[in-house]
Structure 1
Amino acid sequence: MIQNKGNLSSVEADGENNTEGHWLYSDEVKRHFFSPLNFVTDVDEVKDFDGLGLVGSPACGDMMKVWIKVDDKEDKIKQMKWQTFGCASAIGSTSALSEMVTENNGMDLEKAMQIKPQDIIARLGGLPNKKIHCSVLGDKALRSAINDYFKRSGQVERIREEGARMIDSEAKVTDKDIEEAVLEGATTLEAVQKKTKAGLGRPELIPEIEELIKFYREKYFG
């Protein structure tokens, strides 16, 4: 799922690409990119984790899953694992995030919910300007995983919902609509399309819709 492509050059003041067209990255980004921390190679290693979050889209190239293990007595994250389809910035920022929330005996859940992309970028020593959007995936996936933990542990009053993401603008279907369809028993593409019409007029969206169906099916039904 992770592929190291090409060389990563040192970051410069303007945060843009060099004359050879390669993105310029800090040493900290390169450290996390070439030796990512807490990356999941086998999903069996996270089967007993307490929360799972998913953000992004395989269709546009960046998708991320985050798993967390929580100490319920201390209300802290003890472990964070992740997988991503994405570029060096997505990989580096998620690896750095996993280090941030687990160091010093783990981060409080409330503090972790408040992490912003700027915090991750600062940790990395900067990102190229056109790659900053990649750092947004990690904090969103983490909040999704924490919300999932709150739901599983019966702490629904602590859930802070992210805004729904539009999947099919023509059919006006969001990821939340697909999640609801799966929860109502629509666990195949055909069944979800019957309920939502997602992708009927835009076949290029089918891979993303199928990935969401798979994710929600595994999340709720194992």
Structure 2
Amino acid sequence: MWDYTDKVKDYFFNPKNAGVLETANAVGEVGAISCGDALKLMMRVDPETEVIEAATFQTFGCGSAIASSSALTEIIVGKTLGEALQISNQDIADFLGGLPPEKMHCSVMGYEALQAAVANFRGETWSDDHEEGGLVCKCFGVDEGMIERAVRANKLTTPEQVTNFTKAGGGCLTCFEGIEAVLARVNEELVAEGLLSFDEAYRIGSVDPRALKQKARPKAPPAPPKLDIKPLIAFETLAPVPAPAAAAATAVLEAPAPVARLTTVQKIRLIEETLEEIRPFLKQDGGDCELVDVDGNNVIVKLAGACVGCQMASVTVNGVQEKLIAKTGLPLRVIPVK
């Protein structure tokens, strides 16, 4: 299990520069709430010196997305636009002390938002609306241009890495051939430029998409019953609240009783509290269940002890899921990982 750094936790629970920047003259928006992640970066830039005087953000996504967005604003303030454009997504991850591989797309989203904000300030057109070679992954709205930039900037050499850095292929995998084609082409270019060795470069057909799907997506329990949930999905409605709460960085959900409104932080804390109530009963039978991550309404957990490989594991997962749904009033889905 990935052990999140203290800095990631701090920048999630106590995000810096979250909210609306009323004096912003450079705004970049990337992602889409319908695809699971969205980020709006706002900057105030001195027109004469092009120094970034202030930066804030609003984001809809997991804890890593919030931490990455917050870190980005800390990194860029005081830099010129030219200096800021030299920042890579890896710089954002390094600033936080590292991110798990499957969450690197959060740092890439920050990098893309910065590119969009700078273009906005300069009156240029920049977008992630699939004008650069067309849409590749429909599930997450990832185009060829984004994949190419991620591969080139991070020297990615496998489809799994592309998924980790862009989310492309993280859904139905019907885009696998498209991902392969872009990956192989860019790797070939990197080899020609002397930036990648021939042996490292990806070749089409090297990976069986069926094996990748099984590895990337553990068997999940049945979907929970549908509840009457009404999310505030209009990005402009994400209003800031007083620090240090992380609610300024996240969308607010209106949910039925027992919890009327939950911020992302409140939801995670309630999930953690509920799991702590359940764990003693699992430990009595030699098992355990640890929280790994919360991504939207997906609660990723790690079973331990007697729960691993147990024929009743699916029953245990369903029991945990029902308990969380009852406690939070949210349509949560518990997904076990190894």
TM-score by length of 1: 0.57
Which of the pair has more CA radius of gyration? 2
**Residue equivalent to 1:118:** 90
**Match 1:146 to one of 111, 118, 134:** 118
**Residue equivalent to 2:6:** 27
Q: CA deviation at 1:114?
A: 2.2
Q: Is the 8 A contact 2:42 2:56 kept in 1?
A: yes
Unpaired segments of 5 or more residues in structure 1? 1-17, 176-209, 216-222
- AA aligned opposite 2:60: F
Aligned-residue identity in percent: 39
Partner-residue secondary structure (3-state), 1:146: helix
* 1:138-168 deviation line (CA, Å, top 9, x unaligned): 11111111110111xxxx5xx7x46643569
Q: Is the 8 A contact 2:30 2:128 kept in 1?
A: no
- AA aligned opposite 1:116: S
* 1:169-217 deviation line (CA, Å, top 9, x unaligned): 89xx999xxxxxxxxxxxxxxxxxxxxxxxxxxxxxxxxxx969x89xx
Q: Is the 8 A contact 2:85 2:115 kept in 1?
A: yes
Q: Matches of 1:77 and 1:30 in 2, distance apart?
A: 26
Q: Using CA pairs under 8 Å that are at least 6 residues apart, name the structure with larger relative contact order, 1 or 2.
A: 1
Unpaired segments of 5 or more residues in structure 2? 144-232, 238-338
**Match 1:83 to one of 53, 58, 61:** 58
Provide closer, same or farther for how the CA distance between residues 127 and 168 of structure 1 changes in structure 2, counting only shifts above 3 A: closer
1:94 matches 2:69: yes
Q: Matches of 2:107 and 2:137 in 1, distance apart?
A: 25
Q: CA deviation at 1:30?
A: 0.8
TM-score by length of 2: 0.38
* 1:7-45 deviation line (CA, Å, top 9, x unaligned): xxxxxxxxxxx3xxxx531111011001001100xx4xx
Alignment of 1:166-181 (within 5 A): none
**Match 1:50 to one of 11, 25, 31:** 25
Q: Matches of 2:7 and 2:142 in 1, distance apart?
A: 36
Q: How many residues align?
A: 143
C-alpha RMSD of matched pairs (Å):
3.0
1:131 matches 2:117: no
**Residue equivalent to 1:39:** 18
Partner-residue secondary structure (3-state), 2:12: helix
Partner-residue secondary structure (3-state), 2:34: coil
Provide closer, same or farther for how the CA distance between residues 28 and 174 of structure 1 changes in structure 2, counting only shifts above 3 A: closer
Moved over 3 A (4+): 161-164, 166-170
Q: CA deviation at 1:129?
A: 1.1
Q: CA deviation at 1:71?
A: 1.2
